[in-house]
Amino acid sequence: MYQKVKGTQDLFGIEAKKLHFLETKIRTVISKYGYEEMITPIFENTDVFVRSSGEESDIVSKEMYTFLDKGNRSITLRPEGTAAVVRSYLENKLYASGNLKKFYYFGPMFRYERPQAGRFRQFNQFGIEAFGTSSPLLDADVIISASEIFKALGIENIKLKINSIGDFASRNNYEKLLKGYFGKNIDHLCLDCQRRLENNPLRILDCKVDKDNPIIQKAPKIESSLSKESKDYFKEVLKILDDFKLKYEIDQNLVRGLDYYTDTVFEYILESKDELGGLAICAGGKYSDLVRSFQGPDIPGIGYAFGVERILMIMDQQNLFPKLEDKADVVLIGLDPESKKKTLLLAIMLRRAGYLSELDYLSQNLKPQFRLADQMQAKFIIIIGEEERKNKVLTVKNNSTKEQETVSEDRILEYLKEKIK
Ligand code: ATP
Ligand code: MG
């Protein structure tokens, strides 16, 4: 027997419908915020992701699905959405108008990670990116849009964590401070962090292995290194969130795993006591230098990404999906070969009119055909036999009241329209 690749999933039946339900809700909310969909390829030249995430990031250093294609090009299945959106924004000169540009994406991402609850090797992300404006108002709007999505989905127990990692000068100062501090404690750090100390000490704060290590928890905080501008900017963002009554917690160890963030960074995490508690559902931040580092103009951006499978798990847990199974409006029953053909023609006509219509393609016996109607919880059953054909009528049974009526063929649409609201 063939098996799916480790860390991937098959979605079918209700599970597939849940994904679509959620996707539709999210698209509805975000389009009202003026975001337009950006669909980029599932794979890109490997450089695109290396440029954006940085050689030292977990994504680039250990999680990418990278291969040589038959033309010997290094190709990578996208591990995240931002890099490709920036690449496309520049390649298509979408900055030319000089306006703020807002994009969203929805689709599969690929990371070679150890599969566990809420962590897959193929998973879906929904994310947004806004390019062209640097303003605490925009930052707040972006953060609030994520909270509005949680609201629209009915999800509770979500906590917003926020921090500022400052501009580049602030970060440089802070990195020096951290190098000194962690340098003295290097023996207490995991091997990855020992390596990070040289190249990117900020990442030590973000370490998954060492997250409860007191050495990390007691590290100097970034606030002391922020420039006045960065401090004021952050205060302003927080003030708008306060005005909007959006609760948050400032987490000075929140630095995000990627190189390109500046100033505002944030995460929405689930507060619960089970295995999902503390899991990040949405993560993002402002990036002042990413577009330029792609050899583009000096244009700031801000964005976030949601882990869609994690939303699905929470919605299951909190019982937030409506009934999604498809019930048939009509099941058609034919009692002889000629009538069977007629049920097919009629079914197609009813489907065109918007009714979910189904028939048994094999049997002319009543029993299996009624069984199908039960399985599909059909609202109405239409029966066609020799008698009906001769008189150009249909026998229509209301499957809940069990009442049966004779309806003339050419009145069936009117009849259903009246009965099925
Ligand atoms: P984590 O800390 O959980 O590894 P991350 O910092 O790598 O997350 P991002 O790159 O910021 O995650 O991606 C944004 C969101 O995508 C995460 O908050 C999470 O909800 C989701 N996500 C990331 N990796 C996976 C995965 N392997 N499987 C499912 N969802 C994921
Ligand atoms: Mg990760």
pLDDT at 171 > cutoff 80: yes
Rounded distance, CA 88 to CA 100, Å?
Answer: 15
96-113 average pLDDT score: 96
Q: Whose CA is closest to atom 9 on ligand 1?
A: 283
Strands 357-359, 330-334: parallel, antiparallel or unpaired by DSSP? parallel
Pocket test for ligand 1, best of 52, 62, 85, 125 (most atoms within 8 A of CB): 125
Lookup result for tokens 């999604």: 324
Query: Cβ(78) to ligand 1 under 6 A?
Result: no
Please report the pLDDT score of residue 205 as a whole number.
Answer: 87
Please report the pLDDT score of residue 257 as a whole number.
Answer: 60
* Ligand nearest the Cα atom of residue 113: 1
Please report the pLDDT score of residue 282 as a whole number.
Answer: 98
Please report the pLDDT score of residue 199 as a whole number.
Answer: 81
252 — phi, psi (to 5°)? -70, -15
Q: Are 280 and 307 in contact (CB under 8 A)?
A: yes
pLDDT, tens digit, for every residue of 312-366? 999 999 999 999 988 999 999 999 999 999 999 999 999 999 999 999 999 999 9
4-27 average pLDDT score: 97
The residue ranges of every structural domain in the chain are 14-167+227-317, 330-419
Residue 11 — pLDDT band, cuts 50, 70, 90? very high
Residue 143 Cα, ligand 1 centroid: separation in angstroms? 17
79-102 average pLDDT score: 96
Rounded distance, CA 339 to CA 358, Å?
Answer: 15
Residue 36 — pLDDT band, cuts 50, 70, 90? very high
Residue 201 Cα, ligand 1 centroid: separation in angstroms? 21
The topology under which CATH files domain 14-167+227-317 is BirA Bifunctional Protein; domain 2 (3.30.930)
For the beta carbon of residue 309, count every other beta carbon within 10 angstroms: 19
Q: Can you tell me which atom of ligand 1 is nearest the CA of 111?
A: 27
Choice between 276 and 375, residue whose per-residue pLDDT is larger: 375
Structure tokens at 270: 């689930």
pLDDT at 211 > cutoff 80: no
For residue 112, the one-letter residue type is Y
The topology under which CATH files domain 330-419 is Rossmann fold (3.40.50)
Q: Are 52 and 363 in contact (CB under 8 A)?
A: no
Rounded distance, CA 248 to CA 410, Å?
Answer: 62
Range in 114-118, 219-223, 253-257, 401-405 the model is least confident about:
253-257
pLDDT at 258 > cutoff 90: no
Q: What is the CA radius of gyration of the chain?
A: 28
DSSP 125-154: EEEEEEES---HHHHHHHHHHHHHHHHHHT
Rounded distance, CA 48 to CA 365, Å?
Answer: 61
Alpha helix ranges (H) inside 156-202 = 168-184, 191-199
Q: Are 248 and 264 in contact (CB under 8 A)?
A: no
29-55 average pLDDT score: 96
DSSP 20-76: HHHHHHHHHHHHHTT-EE----SEEEHHHHHHHH-TTSHIIIII-EEEE-TT--EEE
What value does the mean pLDDT of the chain take?
94
Q: Whose CA is closest to atom 17 on ligand 1?
A: 307
* Ligand nearest the Cα atom of residue 285: 1
Q: What is the pTM of this model?
A: 0.92
For residue 152, the one-letter residue type is A
274-284 average pLDDT score: 90
Q: Can you tell me which atom of ligand 1 is nearest the CA of 208?
A: 2
Contacts of 39 (CB under 8 A, 6+ apart): 105, 107
Rounded to 10 degrees, what is the CA torsion of 115, 118, 124, 126?
-150
